[in-house]
Amino acid sequence: MLNTAALILAAGQGTRMKSNYPKVVHKVCGHPMVQYVIDTSLQAGVDKCIVITGFKAQEVEKQLKGPIDFVRQEEQLGTGHAVMQAHRVLAGFKGNVVVLNGDIPLITSRTIKKMLMHHEENSYDCCVLTAELPDPVGYGRIVRDKRGNIKRIVEEKDATKVEKHIKEINSGVYIFNAQKLFEALKALDNDNKQGEYYLTDVIEIIKNRGGIVGGFKLEDHTEIKGINNRIQLAEVSEIMRNRILENLMLSGVTIQDPQNTYIEKEVVIGRDTVVYSGTHLEGKTSIGEDCRIGPNCRIKDSRVEDRVEVAYSVVVKSRIKTGSTVGPFAYIRPDSEIGKHVKIGDFVEIKKSKVGDYTKISHLAYVGDARIGEEVNLGAGVIIVNYDGYKKHQTIIQDKAFVGCNANLISPVNIGEGSYIAAGSTITDDVPEDSLAIARSRQVIKKGWPTKKRKEWEGKQHE
Ligand code: UD1
Ligand code: CA
């Protein structure tokens, strides 16, 4: 294969999105839509990947990843004008230039590879990826001559009534001979309804100069669905979401209710794990084998090991080790590490804390900035009082300690190994190992007090 560069157009504002943010960074299953186009081009084996940015360029550039070069299009004067901006960085480049619109995230590397082969086999100067759409509204139409050869592309806004009936559309993916492309761009004008320099006009220019223009028609047109407004954003996201779910199911993950499961592209899940309805798995999350996740969970940027169960809970930027259970209704906040075979029960919030193996925090507790050892038991209503209104402090609870219900541990405090904290205590000082700490006032019994009191009250009523 010839040397190949990809040129991805991502400078437009995307007016039809009605957004303050550039269109190409709107998210599809958690990633900016243009990131898919970048990744797909790289997977297709291009030697160089150039992204053209313009509208809020810095914002776009900072969100994109990979071995890419950015070229700025300071004024957005059309797709042809966008491609012109790459002339300098591709000066002297001889080979294929694959141009892709940044708003078609469903395009696959298989298609790009097949198209490259077709382009080279036929020695084209320009190859356009096309498809027949039942409803072609909004797309540029492919105008063919009597012999069926591509003559030009006409934009919807510039098309005649007859041309509007054409069902074959321009996908926004092209392969050009680099030199022919940049020569033709010099002849481009903006004499059209939108007053823009259309890349699509280059096809006719190349053709008129004796170049060979051909098409590569896709059978499955879902791949080239473009995103111009938020309805299309939802439609494309739905297709992408199903692709991700299907890949997971084929790799051995059970998805109970694919209609109601939202899993982002980078999420990894081990085999025999079951994902129940209403689950959202986001960012860089990995789930081990044989887990039960959901119903109704949100897990983000977290590592969940094998045989873990999480139900009706939120886990963010944390790690949960093998065999532990979380929820229902737990909230594991960033920088927490839950050990092996731990039980985190209902209405428990853990923040920036480490919880040792076999520890139980079964109900109604707040654990913040704490280090909890192994085989510890925190009773219902235990609160780690980590904040004094000014600073956060750390509490340490050693192995096998038992903290009774409704205890407050005023941080910083250290609870020694195997110690007991009496229920209802407010602990302000360290507790040595193997000790019982009681920090509450003694119970007082006043026999007959209610009867006496009632008489007093009743007497008052008769006055
Ligand atoms: C474009 C095609 C149309 C095709 C459709 C496929 C043109 C003139 N028309 O139309 O034939 O059917 O895509 O989806 O090319 N961009 C820039 N700089 C600009 C303008 C746009 O970088 O000055 C970028 C946008 O960010 C976007 C891409 O180019 O990623 C396409 O622009 P868009 O306005 O969406 O073009 P369409 O009207 O969809
Ligand atoms: Ca578009």
User: Is the per-residue pLDDT at 343 higher than 90?
Assistant: yes
Query: Which amino acid, 100?
Result: L
Q: How confident is the model at residue 463 (pLDDT cuts 50, 70, 90)?
A: low
**High-pLDDT (> 70) share of the chain, %:** 99
- The mean pLDDT value for 253-269 works out to 97
Six-digit token pair at 383? 């609160």
Which pair of tokens denotes residue 117? 């082969």
Residue 219, pLDDT above cutoff 90: no
Rounded Cα distance between 395 and 227, Å, is 51
Helices and strands (H, E) in the chain, number of each type: 9, 39
Q: How far is the CA of 237 from the centre of ligand 2 (A)?
A: 15
For 85-140, the pLDDT digits (tens) are 999 999 889 999 999 999 999 999 999 999 999 999 999 999 999 999 999 999 99
CA-closest residue to ligand 1 atom 28: 101
- Asked about 363 being catalytic, the answer comes back as yes
Reported confidence tier of residue 421, pLDDT bands at 50, 70, 90: very high
Instruction: Name the residue type at position 360.
Output: K
Find the helix or strand (DSSP H, E) in which 162 lies: helix 161-164
Give the pLDDT score at 105. Answer: 98
pLDDT in tens, 162-218: 999 999 999 999 999 999 999 999 999 999 999 999 999 999 999 999 999 999 999
Q: Is 163 helix (H, G, I), strand (E, B) or coil?
A: helix
Average pLDDT (432-447) is 96
Q: Compute, in angstroms, the gap from residue 82 CA to the centroid of ligand 1.
A: 10
> For position 51, what pLDDT does the model report?
98
Verify whether ligand 1 is closer than 6 Å to residue 10 (CB atom): yes
1 pLDDT above the threshold of 80: no
Token representation of residue 194: 């939108």
For ligand 1, is residue 107 a contact (CB within 6 Å)? no
2 pLDDT tier (thresholds 50, 70, 90): confident
Residues 45 and 117 sit within 8 Å (Cβ to Cβ): no
Atom number of ligand 1 nearest to Cα 228: 35
CB-CB contact of 127 with 115 (8 Å): yes
* Ligand 1 atom with minimal separation from the 78 CA: 23
pLDDT band at 460 (very low <50, low <70, confident <90, very high): confident
CA 157 to ligand 2 centroid distance, Å: 13
> What torsion do the CA atoms of 290, 294, 297, 298 make, to the nearest 10 degrees?
30
- 284-314 pLDDT tens trace: 999 999 999 999 999 999 999 999 999 999 9
Query: How far is Cα 445 from Cα 443, in angstroms, rounded to an integer?
Result: 7
Map out the domains of the chain with their CATH numbers.
Answer: 4-224 (3.90.550.10), 253-352 (2.160.10.10), 361-463 (2.160.10.10)
**Ligand 1 contact, 103 CB (< 6 A):** yes
The DSSP string of 232-246 is HHHHHHHHHHHHHHH
9 lines ligand 1 (CB under 6 A): yes
Contacts of 420 (CB under 8 A, 6+ apart): 401, 402, 404, 435, 436, 437
Q: What confidence tens digit (pLDDT) does each residue in 373-412 have?
A: 999 999 999 999 999 999 999 999 999 999 999 999 999 9
* 459 CB-contact burial (10 Å; exposed 0-12 / middle 13-18 / buried 19+): exposed
Mean pLDDT of 29-42: 97
Kindly report, residue by residue over 66-76, the tens digit of the pLDDT: 999 999 999 99
Asked if 219 and 132 touch (Cβ cutoff 8 Å), the reply is no
Ligand 1 pocket, residue 201 CB under 6 Å: no
Indicate the pairing of strand 370-372 with strand 395-397: parallel
Instruction: Tell me the DSSP string of 425-454.
Output: -EE-S-B-TT-EE--SPPP---TTHHHHHH
What pLDDT is attached to residue 461? 74
| Residue showing tokens 């919807």 | 156
Of all atoms in ligand 1, which is nearest to the CA of residue 23? 26
What's the N-to-C CA distance of the chain in angstroms?
Answer: 107
pTM listed for this prediction: 0.91
